[in-house]
Amino acid sequence: MSRVRSGLVVAARRRHYAVRADDSGAVVDCVLKGRRTVVACGDRVSFEHAAGSDAIVAVEPRASLLYRSDAFREKVLAANVTQVVAVVAPDLAIDENLLNRWIVAAELEHCRFVLCANKSDLPGYDALLRRLAPYRAFGYPVAECAAKRSVEALERYVRGQRSVLIGQSGMGKSTLLNALVPHAQARTGEVSPALGSGRHTTTGTALYPLSPDASAWLVDSPGMKVFGLAHAEPEALAGAFIEMRPLLGHCRFRDCRHDREPGCAVVAAVDEGRVAPQRLALLHALRSEAEAARDPSR
């Protein structure tokens, strides 16, 4: 009879997981049986040695689960996250639709949201900060960093938190991680002379403890071009838009979709310039995606 042990999932790639055992602190490679179980970095699990391999047998209840999904499939980023850190930089085009989707994902899971404006050493940084001003106005902090020089501003935010670093490829997530966690050795997009061509991209997710007991940590995620939230509860979406929250409940109709209904407080706020039209358009898009994914006729 083998003993059931507990631990923290520190790496996930396809159906393989690395679990940091609570008893020894050693990292154990585990498989997962049962196609329907979802396991992510940050999950607390039980695992057991049987027939020559270690297998995850149970997942503890989660405080949060961050994932992206469309109508057909889901990709789990991390479990038990307390904070989403979105990394942007001045040298690459920022997809603000994507950025706003990350904010919504964080809000839906009751996570903090922090922007990291990286690469402060590059031209165009002031313009980047101006572009981020509306997010600051929502109350989301902006940590100004240069991954290779100083990450102090970000360090203050990640301390004591369980964060996931999210961002488009090339913004500097892996470089930031290496600066924040000295022994992380996350692969960066530096052109490798040995490999000759291009950049390697991170596949899978990995968790890096920030404290000896691994109660605080950082998860690095692969860059992404899309971020679907098809799993969201359609009715919960409006509440994830922080500037719309005080307006909810003030529309003429209780089930208002904030679209073409008369007496809509959100549409009125857009007309008065108090809510950005792009944010309301995103709410409508997310709602349609979530409803389409639930449509039984699909």
Ligand X SMILES: Nc1nc2c(ncn2[C@@H]2O[C@H](COP(=O)(O)OP(=O)(O)O)[C@@H](O)[C@H]2O)c(=O)[nH]1
Q: What residues make contact with ligand X under the rule CB under 6 A?
A: 118-119, 121-122, 146-148, 167, 169-175, 188-190, 223
202 binds Mg ion, rule: CB under 5 A: yes
Q: 74 is in the binding site of which of ligand X, Mg ion, Zn ion, none (Cβ under 5 to 8 A by kind)? A: none
Which of the ranges 27-35, 94-102, 162-170, 253-261 carries the binding residues for Zn ion, by CB under 5 A?
253-261
**Least Cβ distance, residue 170 to Mg ion (angstroms):** 8
Q: Which is nearer to ligand X, 69 or 175 (CB)?
A: 175
**Least distance CB 257 / Zn ion (angstroms):** 7
What are the φ and ψ backbone dihedral angles of 27, each rounded to 5 degrees? -95, 125
By beta-carbon proximity to ligand X, the closer residue of 68 and 173 is: 173
Nearest distance from C-beta of residue 123 to Mg ion, angstroms:
23
List, in sequence order, every beta strand (DSSP E) within the chain. 4-13, 16-21, 27-32, 44-50, 53-59, 65-69, 74-79, 83-88, 112-117, 142-144, 162-167, 205-209, 217-220
Comparing CB distances to Mg ion, the nearer of 118 and 202 is: 202
- Residues with Cβ within 8 Å of 285's Cβ and at least 6 positions away in sequence, in order, are none
Query: What letter does residue 38 receive in the DSSP assignment?
Result: -
Shortest spacing between CB 143 and ligand X, in angstroms: 12
Query: Which one of 134-142, 195-203, 225-233, 260-268 is the stretch in contact with Mg ion (CB under 5 A)?
Result: 195-203
The candidate with the shortest Cα–Cα distance to 181, out of 212, 202, 204, is: 212
228 interface partner picked from ligand X, Mg ion, Zn ion, none, CB below 5 to 8 A per type: none
SS3 of 49, please? strand
Window of 4-12, 72-80, 168-176, 230-238 that interacts with Mg ion by CB under 5 A: 168-176
- 139 is written with which tokens? 């109350």
One of 229, 266, 270, 286 touching Zn ion (CB under 5 A): 266
Q: Which does 171 bind (CB under 5 to 8 A by kind): Mg ion, ligand X, Zn ion, none?
A: ligand X
Q: Could you tell me the two tokens for 227?
A: 């971020």
Q: Beta strand pairing status for 44-50 and 4-13?
A: antiparallel
Residue among 38, 77, 80, 86 nearest 59 (CA): 38
175 binds, among ligand X, Mg ion, Zn ion, none (CB under 5 to 8 A by kind): ligand X
User: Which stretch, 31-39, 103-111, 169-177, 239-247, contacts Mg ion (CB under 5 A)?
Assistant: 169-177
Stretch that binds Mg ion, among 136-144, 148-156, 174-182, 228-236 (CB under 5 A): 174-182
Query: Is 205 a residue that touches Mg ion (CB under 5 A)?
Result: no
Query: How far is Cα of residue 205 from the mean position of the Cα atoms in its chain?
Result: 11
Backbone angles phi, psi at 288, to 5 degrees: -60, -45
We find the least distance from the C-beta atom of residue 15 to ligand X, in angstroms, to be 24
Q: CB under 5 A: which stretch of 106-114, 148-156, 166-174, 248-256 binds Mg ion?
A: 166-174
Structure tokens at 78: 């991390």
Tokens of 262: 């008369």
Q: Does 264 bind Zn ion (CB under 5 A)?
A: yes
User: Least Å distance between CB 200 and ligand X?
Assistant: 9
Cα separation, 118 vs 34, in Å, equals 40
115 contacts 88 by C-beta, under 8 angstroms? yes
Whole-number Å distance between alpha carbons of 118 and 88: 6
Q: Which residues bind Zn ion (CB under 5 A)?
A: 251, 256, 258, 264, 266
